[in-house]
């Protein structure tokens, strides 16, 4: 077996299940889960219809690079959304469709890391655990950059020692952040690109929450958008990941894309050809329909906006909590240890949240997730409001 498998940490939800094992929940209270970031809004009917209308395509082998039509639809969407120079995001060279960004993030690291050079993969902390696991299994060492309230939940890239950048082969960004929802500014993204040029590493930006934002007139900046703004139309050293899971409430479709530097994606596509992960044709057709429609995405944002507006004023009675820049998470501090908070909230109120330390690593004695919990506002509005009221009752009682 690959010895690097022994370096993998249990997934956060495994830790949560272990934490709650054996507890008894109140029989008179329905279970409300705010712990897992799985969208619960209805999937678009028109997307489901496309799948139903094309089930005969199960008889066709899909190609690894996807259909021209899918890559063109992705390119048109990204060019509009991020104000790219027309034609700069070539469907033939700058886009690779993927079966969800989780497998794409993992496989990209396997394809680009040169394990002969004692590489590191640098990521925010807290982080999506696939960043870490991908690094370990590629033979790299993860390096964690703290994201806490003191720095607006965005890494202080200028405070990173030069030696860290010298060994870095991949820098992961997550904007909007999971779990904080913090959005990285153009100024900071430009600085990161300068660092990538100076030290020759890849900037890999996970932008899966970028379409969930509160102000319709202020969508979050993306890495490729910054590239376009500074005249970097070849997107050198820059890679982004996007998905239909959160944007379109289609986590089960397993559809997303990787876009950016054509030289990187050429090698990555070659890797994927052997990896064996082509998207089924009927899923590609459904994805085209989803990327070409914005009305359902606006409705999705409105639904999340309504939940934040209803829940945050209730929680503020007992917790330090604020509206995120984007995404569907709340990341409040807790009045007690985060594990105790999560366990006792489940036991006393049958409401389930994720301890912040499960999303973080302790570095030099500091864990940025300690005494915070992640609350995913994915349940229906009424359940989110009910959960908030139970949390207030729980905090007052404890």
Mean pLDDT of the 346-364 span = 96
Place of tokens 């057709």: 285
**Domain finish residue from 292, 308, 340:** 292
3-state secondary structure (DSSP) of residue 237: coil
**Domain finish residue from 292, 313, 332:** 292
- Mind listing the pLDDT tens digit for each residue in 67-76? 999 999 999 9
In a domain, 49, yes or no: no
Mean residue pLDDT across the chain: 96
pTM: 0.96
pLDDT band at 295 (very low <50, low <70, confident <90, very high): very high
**In 3D, which of 209, 241, 248, 201 has the Cα closest to residue 223?**
241
Asked if residue 302 and residue 180 are part of one domain, the reply reads no
- Mind listing the pLDDT tens digit for each residue in 187-230? 999 999 999 999 999 999 999 999 999 999 999 999 999 999 99
Q: What pLDDT score does 78 carry? A: 98
**In 3D, which of 202, 208, 270, 260 has the Cα closest to residue 65?**
270
Domain span at 91 = 56-292
Asked if residue 65 and residue 129 are part of one domain, the reply reads yes
Cα of first residue to Cα of last residue in the chain, in angstroms, is: 47
Give the CATH number, domain containing residue 168.
3.40.640.10
Q: What pLDDT score does 36 carry? A: 87
Q: What pLDDT score does 385 carry? A: 98
Whether the predicted pLDDT of 277 surpasses 90: no
Asked if residue 226 and residue 105 are part of one domain, the reply reads yes
**Domain finish residue from 248, 268, 292:** 292
Asked if residue 337 and residue 275 are part of one domain, the reply reads no
Share above pLDDT 70 across residues of the chain, in percent, rounded to a whole number:
100
Asked if residue 384 and residue 338 are part of one domain, the reply reads yes
Q: What pLDDT score does 389 carry? A: 98
Domains in the chain: how many in total?
A: 2
pLDDT band at 276 (very low <50, low <70, confident <90, very high): confident
Share above pLDDT 90 across residues of the chain, in percent, rounded to a whole number:
93
3-state secondary structure (DSSP) of residue 66: coil
Give the range among 14-18, 227-231, 243-247, 302-306 with minimum mean pLDDT: 14-18
Give the CATH number, domain containing residue 301.
3.90.1150.10
In a domain, 343, yes or no: yes
Mean pLDDT of the 226-244 span = 98
pLDDT band at 178 (very low <50, low <70, confident <90, very high): very high
Instruction: HSE, CB side, 13 Å, CA atoms: give it for residue 100.
Output: 12
Q: Report yes or no: 41 and 379 within 8 Å, Cβ to Cβ.
A: no
Q: Report yes or no: 43 and 254 within 8 Å, Cβ to Cβ.
A: no
Whether the predicted pLDDT of 275 surpasses 90: no
- Mind listing the pLDDT tens digit for each residue in 74-89? 999 999 999 999 999 9
Separation between Cα atoms, residue 139 and residue 137, nearest integer Å = 5
User: What DSSP string describes 270-283?
Assistant: HHHHHHT-PPPHHH
**In 3D, which of 211, 273, 269 has the Cα closest to residue 94?**
269
Mean pLDDT of the 18-42 span = 91
Q: What pLDDT score does 176 carry? A: 97
Q: What pLDDT score does 22 carry? A: 86
Mean pLDDT of the 265-273 span = 96
Asked if residue 204 and residue 142 are part of one domain, the reply reads yes
- Mind listing the pLDDT tens digit for each residue in 31-50? 999 998 889 999 999 999 99
In a domain, 50, yes or no: no
In a domain, 51, yes or no: no
Asked if residue 174 and residue 143 are part of one domain, the reply reads yes
In a domain, 359, yes or no: yes
Q: Report yes or no: 237 and 227 within 8 Å, Cβ to Cβ.
A: no
Place of tokens 């690779």: 96
C-alpha dihedral sign at 302, 303, 304, 305: positive
Pairing of strands 373-376, 329-330: antiparallel
Asked if residue 158 and residue 19 are part of one domain, the reply reads no
- Mind listing the pLDDT tens digit for each residue in 103-149? 999 999 999 999 999 999 999 999 999 999 999 999 999 999 999 98
Asked if residue 303 and residue 278 are part of one domain, the reply reads no
In a domain, 271, yes or no: yes
In a domain, 147, yes or no: yes
Q: What pLDDT score does 279 carry? A: 95
Asked if residue 123 and residue 22 are part of one domain, the reply reads no
3-state secondary structure (DSSP) of residue 155: coil
Asked if residue 357 and residue 258 are part of one domain, the reply reads no
Asked if residue 248 and residue 180 are part of one domain, the reply reads yes
In a domain, 48, yes or no: no
């Amino acid at each position: 077996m690959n010895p690097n498998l022994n370096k993998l940490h249990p997934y956060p939800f495994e830790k949560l299940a272990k934490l709650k094992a054996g507890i008894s929940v109140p029989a008179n209270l329905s279970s409300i889960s705010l712990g897992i970031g799985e969208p619960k809004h209805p999937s678009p009917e028109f997307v489901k219809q496309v799948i139903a209308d094309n089930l005969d395509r199960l008889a066709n082998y899909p190609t690894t690079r996807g259909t021209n039509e899918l890559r063109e639809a992705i390119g048109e969407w990204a060019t509009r959304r991020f104000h790219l120079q027309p034609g700069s995001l070539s469907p033939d060279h700058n886009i690779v469709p993927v079966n969800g960004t989780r497998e794409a993030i993992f496989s990209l690291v396997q394809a680009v890391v040169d394990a002969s050079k004692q590489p590191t993969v640098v990521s925010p902390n807290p982080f999506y655990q696939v960043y870490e696991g991908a690094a370990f299994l590629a033979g790299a060492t993860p390096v964690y950059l703290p994201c806490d309230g003191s720095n607006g939940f965005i890494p202080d890239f200028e405070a990173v020692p030069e030696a860290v950048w010298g060994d870095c082969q991949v820098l992961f960004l997550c904007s909007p952040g999971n779990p904080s929802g913090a959005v990285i500014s153009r100024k900071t993204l430009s600085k990161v690109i300068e660092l990538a040029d100076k030290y020759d590493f890849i900037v890999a930006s996970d932008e899966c929450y970028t379409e969930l934002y509160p102000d319709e007139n202020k969508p979050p900046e993306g890495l490729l958008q910054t590239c376009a703004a500074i005249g970097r139309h070849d997107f050198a050293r820059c890679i982004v990941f996007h998905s239909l899971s959160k944007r379109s409430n289609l986590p089960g479709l397993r559809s997303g894309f990787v876009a950016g530097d054509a030289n990187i994606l050429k090698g990555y596509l070659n890797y994927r050809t052997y990896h064996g992960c082509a998207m089924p044709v009927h899923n590609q057709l459904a994805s085209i329909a989803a990327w070409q429609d914005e009305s359902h995405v606006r409705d999705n944002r409105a639904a999340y906006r309504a939940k934040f507006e209803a829940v945050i004023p209730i929680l503020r009675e007992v917790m330090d909590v604020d509206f995120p820049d984007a995404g569907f998470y709340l990341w409040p501090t807790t009045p007690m240890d985060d594990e105790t908070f999560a366990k006792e909230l489940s036991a006393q109120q049958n409401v389930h949240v994720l301890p912040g330390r499960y999303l973080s690593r302790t570095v030099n004695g500091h864990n940025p997730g300690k005494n915070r919990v992640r609350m995913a506002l994915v349940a229906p509005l009424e359940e989110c409001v009910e959960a908030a009221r139970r949390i207030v009752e729980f905090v007052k009682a404890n």
